[in-house]
Amino acid sequence: MTSDPGLQPTVHELDVCLRAPVTVLSARDGAVHGQGAEGVFCGDVRALSVVEVTVAGRRPDGIGGGSTGTGTSRHVAVLRGLGDPGPDPTIRLETVRRLADDGLGETLRLVSSAADPLEAEVVLTLATDLATVEEVKSGQVRPLVAPDGEGWAGRGVVVAVPGLETVGEHGRLSWTVVVPPRGAVEVDWSVRVVDPGGVTAAPRTASSWSTPRVTCDDSRLAPLVEQSLEDLAGLRMATTTEPEDVFAAAGAPWYLTLFGRDSLWTARLLLPLGTGLAAGTLRTLAARQGTRRDDATGEEPGKILHEIRRPPVAEEGVTPFLPPVYFGTVDATPLWVCLLHDAWRWGLDPAVVTELLDPLERALEWLAADADPDGDGFLEYLDRTGTGLANQGWKDSHDSVRFADGRIAEGPIALCEAQAYAHEAALGGAALLDAFGRPGADRWRSWAADLRERFRGAFWVGDDEGRYPAIALDGAKAPVDAPASNMGHLLGTGLLDGEESAAVAARLGSPAMDSGFGLRTMATTAGGYGPLTYHCGSVWPHDTAIAMTGLAREGHAAQAGSLARGLLAAGESFDRRMPELFAGDAATEVRRALAYPASCRPQAWSAAASVAVLTAVIGLRPDVPAGRLEVAPLRPAPLGAVRVEGLRIGSDEVTVAVSATGEVSVEGWSGELVTG
């Protein structure tokens, strides 16, 4: 892999070792060569951009290895030309990497099968540019920073390496070792990063969810869930100001921080494994809920933020892409309300819900006030600064909202899924207000009913295949009519009636939308379609999971089952570590899904998609406050028989088994059981 200044570096071929806030992106041999996105990152800063080993002046040749668990990896390389003569390598280097809360430690182990001892100098070369993640992502090239004593200092951080020697712009550690015949020798080194300006940190508590035991006729499901939960464990994070509240960072390497919609969706999809992650996510975001109006940051009273970043260090010529605390999102606020409601239904402690009722009311007020600046009854957005995100839904690239002929829509933009989230939030918020003795529930139910009717009159369009909801309304209130996956987010929100739901299901199940590896973000029939566009034809696992969940909830088993099988095929394509997104090429044309080269991997909501598959196929619908659990599996069973042990529903640990013919068995649930 080579670097190309000015282009976003590719990451799909890199090895990723992750334990937030520390990430190591290395070549397959474990080395960091100073190219592209390679590096040891701590939070938003690249602490080391070069980590290379030589033995007796020779570079090792990698032969395999990679992640061995959350925050650990092992790589094996051979040292040809050392040891016994002949074609077979007899000296190998094993690199065992262990990430810590603020850095890493490594053991370099030389192993010999040679007949004679080997005396050699082991040299570790280190360097850093102290680049920010934004700079790395944009392809900027920064000069190396010269070491200062046993490490580096600059841009507000200190990178400490005990025993480091300075050699020009590089640092060096060296050891003279003797490897005995058919024996081994080890050396250790470590790096620690001190970043007083950091806003995120490693969590203080253990895992926020249960680890289910999955048995399935489709052998792809259980290992996908296992790897996904390992990836999610690496993405667990807290803020420095609320260290006890854990959330899932969006993804590595580009988005290893708190993101409103990403963290909310991840917690929502993981509710079958417990409400702890939901509670931490809700509280962390509520602590930063908007209180004033600020065009520069997008903040508004009651609004939930988009993302937080490390504040930039004042340097000439360095300008962050977005403010460190940025609110440019139209959907995080209703999604916050939806998560609070769903977590309550899954058994979130009523004391936690009570604590969040004031932020709930402020979030609901935002829906009817600042979210609708022109008063037409729809949520919409417009970046007033010209420096923020042009699009502020989950498809936040500049060209994601297009007409069927390929034209890019001009704002203000009212996204279809934002209306659906708001409708669901209003109903869920009303249910919470009633349940906890707060006034105002009737107002929000009426507001939701009005929104439903307005949506029906404004968003529906048609083509030769039938009617479907437009992706958005543009600034002139014209429907933006490219068939897009956004319509899948309307299912299960109560916004659609039965006939409308069936029309959406038919469109999502068409060959133009269902790639066989998941749902395309835009139909192949649209003028803006491209299989490797970020939001106009690629496949995003979380997007597929949301649509699949809605399809299952509304009884469209065939389409839901097809998307579930597609996600399993995609997982198999990427060794069960789900990327942020991948190419939209059809499974009938390629055996394995094709990578999107700059995709985060792992990505939190992509990893959570595997749990969504479980929820959809067995049809879990709890109402813990009412003491009721409904299990309505997909029929016919798209993955065959499924058994899941270790689900958390309220205070119960529940086992659900569904046979290949749809018979349901539930163990451990203490309330009323309804099977559908």
Distances (CA, A) of 233 to 159, 223, 243, 604: 25, 15, 16, 9
Verify that 384 and 485 share a domain, yes or no: yes
Which of 198, 219, 254 lies at the terminal end of a domain, its last residue? 198
**How many CA atoms does the CB half-sphere of 380 hold within 13 Å?**
20
Inter-residue contact 101 to 201 (CB < 8 Å) = yes
Q: Is residue 605 part of a domain?
A: yes
pLDDT at 319 over 80: no
Q: Is residue 405 part of a domain?
A: yes
Q: What is the mean pLDDT of residues 624-629?
A: 98
Verify that 298 and 188 share a domain, yes or no: no
Verify that 284 and 257 share a domain, yes or no: yes
Q: Is residue 69 part of a domain?
A: yes
- Round the average pLDDT of the chain to a whole number and report it: 96
Using CB atoms within 10 Å of the CB of residue 557, give its burial: 0 to 12 exposed, 13 to 18 middle, 19+ buried. Answer: buried
Q: Is residue 1 part of a domain?
A: no
Which of 139, 165, 198 lies at the terminal end of a domain, its last residue? 198
pLDDT at 17 over 50: yes
pLDDT at 314 over 80: no
pLDDT at 45 over 70: yes
Of the listed ranges 317-321, 622-626, 651-655, the least confidently predicted one is: 317-321
Verify that 540 and 628 share a domain, yes or no: yes
Verify that 192 and 205 share a domain, yes or no: no
How far the first Cα of the chain sits from its last, in Å, is 53
Verify that 177 and 221 share a domain, yes or no: no
Q: Is residue 280 part of a domain?
A: yes
pLDDT at 565 over 90: yes
Predicted confidence band at 315 (pLDDT cuts at 50, 70, 90)?
low
Q: How many helices (H) and strands (E) does the chain have?
A: 13, 33
Inter-residue contact 119 to 177 (CB < 8 Å) = yes
Q: What is the mean pLDDT of residues 122-143?
A: 95
Residue with tokens 């061995």: 68
Inter-residue contact 483 to 533 (CB < 8 Å) = no
Q: Is residue 653 part of a domain?
A: yes
Tens of pLDDT, residues 660-676 = 999 999 999 999 999 98
Q: What is the mean pLDDT of residues 608-614?
A: 98
Q: Is residue 639 part of a domain?
A: yes
Helix 260-269 vs helix 604-618: angle between axes, to the nearest 10 degrees? 30
Q: Which of 532, 624, 612 is nearest to 346 (CA)?
A: 624
Tens of pLDDT, residues 81-94 = 999 999 999 999 99
Predicted confidence band at 384 (pLDDT cuts at 50, 70, 90)?
confident
Task: Kindly state the percentage of the chain with pLDDT values over 90.
Answer: 95
Q: Which of 649, 565, 641, 643 is nearest to 610 (CA)?
A: 565
- Give the model's pLDDT for residue 595: 98
- The CATH number of the domain holding residue 335 is 1.50.10.10
Verify that 531 and 597 share a domain, yes or no: yes
Q: Which helix (H) or strand (E) element contains residue 260?
A: helix 260-269
Q: What is the mean pLDDT of residues 392-407?
A: 97
Verify that 36 and 72 share a domain, yes or no: yes
Using CB atoms within 10 Å of the CB of residue 478, give its burial: 0 to 12 exposed, 13 to 18 middle, 19+ buried. Answer: middle
- The CATH number of the domain holding residue 165 is 2.70.98.40
Residue with tokens 């944009």: 138
Amino acid letter, residue 521: T
Predicted confidence band at 313 (pLDDT cuts at 50, 70, 90)?
low
Verify that 64 and 93 share a domain, yes or no: yes
Verify that 157 and 260 share a domain, yes or no: no
**Domain count along the chain:** 2
Phi-psi region of 298 (alpha: psi -120 to 50; beta: other; left: phi over 0): left
- Give the model's pLDDT for residue 386: 87
Verify that 172 and 300 share a domain, yes or no: no
pLDDT at 299 over 80: yes
pLDDT at 2 over 50: no
pLDDT at 316 over 50: no
Verify that 466 and 421 share a domain, yes or no: yes
Amino acid letter, residue 585: D
Inter-residue contact 507 to 563 (CB < 8 Å) = no
Going by their DSSP bridges, the two strands 672-675 and 628-631 should be labelled as: parallel
Q: Which of 513, 515, 518 is nearest to 471 (CA)?
A: 513
User: Sheet of 103-112: strands edge to edge?
Assistant: 61-69, 72-78, 91-100, 103-112, 184-194, 157-160, 151-154
Q: Tell me the torsion sign for CA atoms 388, 392, 396, 400.
A: negative
Q: What is the mean pLDDT of residues 276-289?
A: 98
Q: Is residue 621 part of a domain?
A: yes
- Give the model's pLDDT for residue 1: 41
Residue 247 belongs to domain spanning = 201-658
Backbone angles phi, psi at 616, to 5 degrees: -70, -45
Q: Give the integer Cα–Cα distance in Å for 552 and 637.
A: 12
- Give the model's pLDDT for residue 664: 97
Which of 132, 163, 198 lies at the terminal end of a domain, its last residue? 198
pLDDT at 188 over 70: yes
